[in-house]
Amino acid sequence: MSTTITAAVARSTGDPLTIESLELDELRSNEVRVRMVASGVCHTDAIVRDGIYPTPLPAVLGHEGAGVVEGIGSDVTTVAVGDHVVLSAAYCGKCVQCRSGRVAYCENLFAEDFGGRRHDGTTSLTSESGPVSSHFFGQSAFSTHANVVETSIIKVDKNVPLETLAPLGCGLQTGAGAVLNDLRPAPGTSIAVFGTGAVGSAAIMAARIAGCTTVIAVDLHDSRLELAETIGATHTVNGRTDDVVERIADITGGAGLNFALDTTAVPAVLQQAAASLGIGGTVALVGAAAPGTEVTFEIGASLVKGWTFKTIIQGSSVPQQFIPRLVELFEQGRFPFDKLIRHYRFDDINTAFADSENGSTIKPVVVLPH
């Protein structure tokens, strides 16, 4: 039997989301019925709404959900009714990458997270005008309820408000995981984070957790740089007014960076990050660019540096293992990501998208009606 829910629907490319009543179908054996409490708004939601990534519209987006389990499928073993859960990216669990513990690099990532359908081709959501794409990142969290695949489910401590925990599922996990799971800087090393939105801010906090002693925040907005200093940045550089490469050289005493993390996916910024590296340094990209975007690097004088460029998805994390660690760090006061959050009513979801795009809010979180 289907259930009537309320959801924010992306109906056509580039248009605002519309709040609608939809029908949610019966729970499948590998799914968990979640009553959504809150969902973060992420850049990836915007680029799918705008047609840059291929999820078929109309669709219910949202991939940083948090809520309470109301039902479980017959094959589900990891959660029970009443558990508090955070939702993250889905993965197949069967490919070589998944079975190697690299679930963020699942060979079936696009089908699992952007396909808009279950494996059998069905969608869990319908409107009066027909099917609506569901299971965005396994969840479609911009809704009062969702049938979520078990691989997207992470059980969390009931003592921490779900309205706070929601953003851990994507952006914050990506920034913190890029540092703690992938780059793994040694204590006493240097890192610059280019772009201090939600992903970059999480990376800054993670760098201090890792013991980096030079943590440089690079952004165009002084307000963001000021916040970066309160969460762990030792230095700030304004890319609008400063010569970024020159400033970083001054800060590092001419040695250059051990690590640089670009969250912007702007080719000119990535070039600055690479140019700021020291010998043996690593620059990593976590920002999402449109397919086909290219960047060029200087390869003459930089040859003797032996530097590395790499891309990182979802913080190279296993969400079921990494997100509970981030919750523990938050509870200890070592990962204060709540400083980034601004809450919005569900009816104001398009304002949340706009505030994220214009930079006035670092991490918007919409709170679902009960």
pLDDT tens profile 263-304: 999 999 999 999 999 999 999 999 888 889 999 999 999 999
Rounded-to-integer distance, Cα 352 and Cα 340, Å: 13
Answer whether residue 2 shows pLDDT above 90. Answer: no
Q: How confident is the model at residue 52 (pLDDT cuts 50, 70, 90)?
A: confident
Written as six digits, the tokens of 16 are 């605002």
Angle (CA) 338 339 345, round 5°: 65
Q: Convert 63-76 to b/e letters by CB count within 10 Å (16 or more is b).
A: bbbbbbbeebbeeb
pLDDT digits (tens, 9 = 90+) for 72-124: 999 999 999 999 999 999 999 999 999 999 999 999 999 999 999 999 999 99
Query: How confident is the model over 180-184, as a mean pLDDT?
Result: 98
Class of domain 3-169+336-367: alpha beta
pLDDT of residue 288: 85
Which ranges constitute the DSSP H helices of 33-185?
43-49, 96-99, 109-114, 162-165, 171-177
Per-residue pLDDT tens over the stretch 10-39: 999 999 999 999 999 999 999 999 999 999
54 confidence band (pLDDT: 50, 70, 90) = confident
Above 80 in pLDDT, residue 1?
no
Pairing of strands 31-40, 65-72: antiparallel
pLDDT above 90 for 132 = yes
Q: What is the pLDDT at residue 313?
A: 95
Other C-beta atoms within 10 Å of 90: how many?
Answer: 27
For 188-247, write each residue's pLDDT tens digit.
999 999 999 999 999 999 999 999 999 999 999 999 999 999 999 999 999 999 999 999
Dihedral pair phi/psi, residue 50, rounded to 5°: -90, 5
Query: Would you say 278 and 252 are in contact if contact means Cβ atoms under 8 Å apart?
Result: yes
CA 275 – CA 298 distance, rounded (Å) = 8
Q: Which CATH class is domain 174-313?
A: alpha beta
Domain with CATH 3.40.50.720 in the chain: 174-313
